[in-house]
A and B are shown apart, each in its own frame.
Chain A
Amino acid sequence: DVKVTQSSRYLVKRTGEKVFLECVQDMDHENMFWYRQDPGLGLRLIYFSYDVKMKEKGDIPEGYSVSREKKERFSLILESASTNQTSMYLCASSGGPPYNEQFFGPGTRLTVL
C-alpha cells in the first residue's frame, strides 16, 4: 500500500514565522503535490513536482514555495505565515503519468495566529 506521511497533524504558528511542512511517500512516485483544503472551496493546488529538483506553480502559489531535493520528499514552505494561510494542507503523490490516481496523506491542520 502506498503511504504518504506528513510531518505534523496539527501546527500552530504566529504571523510572520517561517513554516515548513514535510511530506514523504514510500512508493517511489515521480509526482508529488501540495493542496490546501478549505470549507466550501474544495482542494486547491498550490505547487506540484514531476521530478526531483523540479517544481511547478499550481493555482494558488502566492505566499508559498516548495523544495524537492529527494524523490520521496516534498516540502512546502510558508516564508512568512499570515492568518489567511490558516488551513488544512494535503500532500499527495502519484506514479507514472500525471493523470493517474493520487494518494493522499492525512493532512496538516495549520493555524496561524
Chain B
Amino acid sequence: AQSVSQHNHHVILSEAASLELGCNYSYGGTVNLFWYVQYPGQHLQLLLKYFSGDPLVKGIKGFEAEFIKSKFSFNLRKPSVQWSDTAEYFCAVYDFGNEKLTFGTGTRLTIIP
C-alpha cells in the first residue's frame, strides 16, 4: 500500500518568509496528487491538485506545487506567507494501482506576524 510522508510536523515562519512543505510517496505508478488545508476551526478543503500535464500546478491563495516523478515528490510552495496561512496542511496521493487515496500525517504551519 502507498504511504505518504510529510517530514515537517510543525513549521514556524515569520510573515513574508518563503515556504516549502515536503511530501513524498512510497512507490511509483500512476497517481493523482492533492494538497488539502485545514484552517483553525474550519473543515478540510482542497488547495491544489495534480492529475496530468504541467508538473507545476497553481492553487488558491498563491500556493503552488511541483510534481517530480523521479523523486516521488509533490512539494508545496509559497513565495511569501501571510499570517492567514496558519493552518494544517495535508498531502494526499490517489494510487490507481490499489484505487485508494492515502493522506500524509500533516504539517502544522504557524505564521508569526
Q: Give residues in A with beta carbon < 8 Å to B.
A: 4, 35, 40-45, 58-59, 90, 92, 98-99, 101-102, 104-107
Chain B: number of interface residues, binned into ranges: 20 to 34
- The reply to whether B101 and A45 form a contact with Cβ atoms under 8 Å apart is yes
Q: Give residues in B with beta carbon < 8 Å to A.
A: 1, 4, 6, 9, 32, 34, 36, 42-46, 49, 51, 90, 92, 94, 96, 99-101, 103-106
- The reply to whether A107 and B100 form a contact with Cβ atoms under 8 Å apart is no
- The reply to whether A101 and B34 form a contact with Cβ atoms under 8 Å apart is yes
Residues of B within 8 A of A104 (CB): 36, 43-45
Main secondary structure of the interface of A (DSSP, over half): loop
- The reply to whether B103 and A106 form a contact with Cβ atoms under 8 Å apart is no
Residues of A within 8 A of B104 (CB): 42
- The reply to whether A42 and B46 form a contact with Cβ atoms under 8 Å apart is no
Residues of A within 8 A of B34 (CB): 101
Query: When chains A and B are docked, how far (Å) is the Cα of A59 from the Cα of B42?
Result: 25
A-B contacts, 21 of them at CB < 8 A, read A40-B105, A41-B105, A42-B4, A42-B6, A42-B104, A42-B106, A43-B103, A45-B101, A58-B100, A90-B44, A98-B94, A98-B99, A98-B101, A99-B32, A99-B101, A101-B34, A101-B49, A102-B46, A102-B101, A104-B36, A104-B45
